[in-house]
Structure 1
Amino acid sequence: MTSPEGDVPERIDGLAQLGEQVSDLALVVARQTRTIERLVDAARSPAAAAGADTALLVDLFALHTDAATCAVSASEADRPAFELLRAGLERLIVGRGGAVVAPPAGTDFDARTMEAVDVHPTDDTSADRTVAELLRPGLVVGERSVRPAAVVVFRSGQSSGDSVRQRNS
């Protein structure tokens, strides 16, 4: 007499196959989970490292600006040494995930990384809202501007005194 559920050995074989398939699927899910975790860790690492190194980068940046100042004001004999020191400090900053922001004249003003310390009037509309002069370089760590670059910006159609009065009113 046969049971309504079917033959018992066939059911056992079917359950064994189902168990193997579930086990294989569990291995695939575990492998994908490890891959996703590795990708998430890799994505977090630069940001976490940048966060941990921000204080160090600020100190390196201060030394960088001091070395740049010394390179400009030093004697002809000492100038190359200070310039090499400045370049080496900049490489350290970049190697640790930072970037020195030193926009040349003519670069479009970027409020995220620059601070307009002064405004020069201009009649040239193509120069409007571009950097006229770099006063002090800035520092960016990851996506965050830690020290904005101090710049003078061209502005067409108004004098520098007008812009200050507009901000204060």
Structure 2
Amino acid sequence: MTDPAEPLAHLAERIEDLTRVVARQATTIDRLADEAKARDRRDRAGVDLPLVLELFAIHTDTTACASTAESPRERAAFEAIVARIERLIVGRGATLVNPQPGDAFDSLTMEAADVADTDDPALDRTVASVVQTGLTISGRSIRPAGVIVRKHH
């Protein structure tokens, strides 16, 4: 004859085993969640700011060299370097701000280097030309684009 307490002892032992399994799973889930949060923080920070700023400075200098090149061959070489640097900057998580003439002036990503008068009210507060490309990282303007802004008079 079996002891009636035996099934209860076996059940209690199984409950203990399940409790340990659930506790281990909870610990694993917490660890994975913490790792995911840390990875997310790294991804959001993601940008190696000193490197991106140095690349941006080189981009600015190389763009200036391209615009003052003495021959089409030199200009093409500098433009190829500029394109490669742009890919590096974007690949590092930054965004170049290069507004086009006619774009609305955006004080968050642009700064007025100069003002150009216009007789057309539809062109008021639009970009006439770009003086210097800007830089944003994670939606924050690091260096606003320098632009000449049209102003209706």
Which of 53, 59, 62 is the equivalent residue of 1:58? 53
TM-score by length of structure 1 reads 0.75
Query: How far is 1:18 from its partner?
Result: 1.9
- Superposed CA RMSD: 2.1
For 1:13 and 1:37, locate their aligned partners in 2 and report how far apart those are by CA, in whole Å.
36
Deviations 1:3-22 (A, max 9, x none): xxxx5324322322321231
Q: 2:127 aligns with which of 126, 131, 146?
A: 131
Q: Is structure 2 residue 20 aligned with structure 1 residue 15?
A: no
- Unaligned runs of at least 5 residues, structure 1: 1-6, 160-169
Paired position in structure 2 for 1:31: 28
Partner of residue 149, structure 1: 145
**Percentage identity across paired residues of the two chains:** 38
What displacement does 1:125 show? 4.5
Residue 123 (structure 1) shift: 4.9
Scaled by the length of structure 2, the TM-score of the pair is: 0.82
Which structure 2 residue ranges, 5 or more long, are not aligned?
none
Which amino acid in 2 is paired with 1:59? E
Partner of 1:87: 83
- Separation (CA, whole Å) in 2 of partners of 1:115 and 1:90: 21
Equivalenced residues, count? 149
The aligned amino acid for 1:87 is A
